[in-house]
């Protein structure tokens, strides 16, 4: 019998959708209690925004990030209320790293929610001060995407860089609008199957966000982080975080640095992880994992039905 070695994953901005968390909260009190706590801390009805929309308000950076964080922790707490299966390691994509820190016992939910709200506001403000955009490049390896960014900068189009190394032939670039557009054209010339502009309010995970990261550091440095109970793979370098100092540094650099997701997942697989559970909203990370390594079993945990399906994966080990 194969021993299941799970990692818990948490999605980032873009996975939010109207209705997120509603079914989970209808079925499990612990999930609704998590949203109620978030409502009280934030001072507005986040639950209603997640369950009912409107979508235009939900997808605003300052709202999408707290929505995803809360939905992820609600799903995590629900899992913990019905199962004693713990992760071998954890990881989160961009803002998902905050939920991963909660899962690792490094960050309290209440502190994390305040940080995520601040992060979203700072990133929104940075986007207003220095307009930027992002685009997904599909069907092109990371090296060629990076070369397209270098060439666009050399042509004087402005700043553009790779923001997300998602794996499976998916790379996201970020920067000044003209530079992103030119890099996308160059990527197509290099063989990209498709270049998709993303509906975002700024050039996230690019040097245009350095000031936002520096401003966030003030809040991070006063937040009590604990040593992670489970290994956590950091976005910025695809290495394990071990100390509270690592956490603060990583989250500061993450705002303007690339998300090295493919390398992060490869590290987990290399260390024997063979099951990936995605907590929160949707199954984007499960989809990416299937393109990175098809041998890994994936399952989302977003409502009672998917929760039960994920538990079934471990049935032989818990009987």
Residue ending a domain, among 167, 201, 235, is 201
Q: Are the CB atoms for 201 and 61 separated by under 8 Å?
A: yes
Last residue of a domain, one of 161, 184, 201: 201
Q: State how many domains the chain has.
A: 2
Reported as a single tens digit per residue, the pLDDT across 277-311 is 999 999 999 999 999 999 999 999 999 999 999 99
Given a contact cutoff of 8 angstroms between Cβ atoms, the answer to whether 70 and 50 are in contact is yes
Q: Which residue out of 106, 174, 205, 206 is catalytically annotated?
A: 205
279 and 197 in a common domain: no
Residue 176 sits in a domain whose CATH number is 3.30.70.250
Contact 252, 215 (CB under 8 A): no
- What pLDDT is attached to residue 317? 63
Higher pLDDT, 1 or 243: 243
Same domain, 228 and 109: yes
Asked if residue 220 lies in contact with residue 253, where contact means CB atoms within 8 angstroms, the answer is no
Are 80 and 46 contained in the same domain? yes
Phi, psi of 70 (to 5 degrees): -65, -45
Helix (H) or strand (E) holding 194: strand 194-198
Q: Which DSSP state fits 259?
A: B
139 and 124 both lie in a single domain: no
Nearest to residue 127, comparing CAs of 236, 11, 17, 206? 206
pLDDT value at residue 250: 96
Please indicate, yes or no, whether residues 311 and 173 belong to a single structural domain of this protein.
Answer: no
Question: Is the same domain home to 231 and 304?
Answer: yes
Q: Is 171 found in the same domain as 226?
A: no
Assigned domain for 190 exists: yes
3-state secondary structure of 166: strand
Is 62 domain-assigned?
yes
Q: What is the pTM of this model?
A: 0.96
Distance CA 209, CA 201 (A): 12
290 part of a folded domain = yes
Using the predicted structure, report yes or no on whether residue 318 has a pLDDT greater than 60: no
Paired with 161 in beta bridges are 174
Domain assignment present for 53: yes
Tell me the C-alpha distance between 281 and 314, whole Å: 22
**pLDDT tens for residues 32-43?**
999 999 999 999
Same domain for 117 and 177: no
Same domain (yes/no): 38, 185: no
Residue 273 burial (10 A CB sphere; 0-12, 13-18, 19+): buried
User: Does residue 139 share a domain with residue 112?
Assistant: no
DSSP class of residue 28?
-
Average pLDDT, the chain: 96
pLDDT of res. 136:
97
pLDDT at 1: 59
- Residue 96, pLDDT above cutoff 90: yes
Residue where a domain terminates, one of 201, 219, 238: 201
Query: What residues pair up with 115 in beta bridges, in sequence order?
Result: none
* 10 lies in the same domain as 80: yes
Give me the CATH number covering residue 246.
3.40.366.10
- Could you please report the per-residue DSSP string of 126-153? HHHHS--EEEEEESS-HHHHHHHHHHHH
21: left (phi over 0), alpha (psi -120 to 50) or beta: left
For 139-183, how does the pLDDT look when each residue is reduced to its tens digit (9 = 90+)? 999 999 999 999 999 999 999 999 999 998 999 999 999 999 999
Q: Does residue 60 form part of some domain?
A: yes
Q: Which domain holds residue 195?
A: 132-201
Cα 125 → chain centroid: 20
Out of 15, 72, 93, 94, pick the active-site residue: 94
What confidence tens digit (pLDDT) does each residue in 215-234 have? 999 999 999 999 999 999 99
User: Is 93 annotated as catalytic?
Assistant: no
Residue 1 lies in a domain: no
Q: Do residue 260 and residue 313 come from a single domain?
A: yes
pLDDT at position 2: 73
Check whether 319 has a pLDDT greater than 70. Answer: no
- Strand 275-279 and strand 6-10: the pairing is parallel
């Amino acid at each position: 019998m194969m021993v299941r070695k799970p990692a818990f994953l948490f999605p980032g901005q873009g996975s939010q959708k109207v209705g997120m968390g509603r079914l989970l909260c209808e079925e499990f009190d612990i999930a609704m209690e998590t949203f109620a706590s978030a409502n009280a801390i934030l001072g507005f009805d986040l639950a209603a925004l997640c369950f009912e929309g409107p979508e235009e308000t939900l997808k605003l950076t300052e709202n999408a990030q707290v929505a995803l964080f809360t939905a992820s922790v609600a799903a995590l707490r629900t899992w913990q209320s019905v199962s004693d299966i713990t992760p071998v390691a954890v990881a989160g994509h961009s803002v998902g790293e905050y939920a991963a820190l909660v899962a690792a016992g490094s960050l309290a939910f209440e502190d994390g929610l305040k940080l995520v709200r601040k992060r979203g506001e700072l990133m929104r403000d940075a986007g207003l001060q220095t307009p930027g955009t992002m685009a997904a490049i599909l069907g092109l390896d990371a090296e060629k995407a990076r070369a397209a960014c270098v060439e666009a900068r050399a042509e004087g189009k402005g700043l553009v860089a790779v923001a997300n190394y998602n794996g499976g032939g998916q790379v996201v670039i970020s920067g000044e609008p003209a530079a992103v557009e030119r890099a996308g054209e160059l990527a197509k010339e290099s063989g990209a199957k498709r270049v998709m502009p993303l509906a975002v309010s700024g050039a996230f995970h690019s040097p245009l966000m350095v000031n936002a990261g520096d401003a966030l550091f003030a809040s991070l440095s006063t937040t009590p982080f604990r040593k992670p109970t489970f290994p956590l793979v950091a976005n910025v370098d695809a290495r394990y975080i071990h100390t509270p100092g690592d956490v603060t540094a990583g989250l500061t650099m993450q705002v303007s640095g690339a998300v090295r997701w493919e390398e992060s997942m490869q590290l987990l697989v290399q260390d024997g992880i063979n099951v990936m559970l995605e907590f929160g909203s949707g199954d984007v990370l499960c989809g990416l994992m299937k393109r990175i390594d098809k041998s890994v079993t994936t399952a989302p945990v977003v409502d009672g039905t998917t929760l039960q399906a994920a538990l079934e994966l471990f049935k032989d080990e818990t009987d």
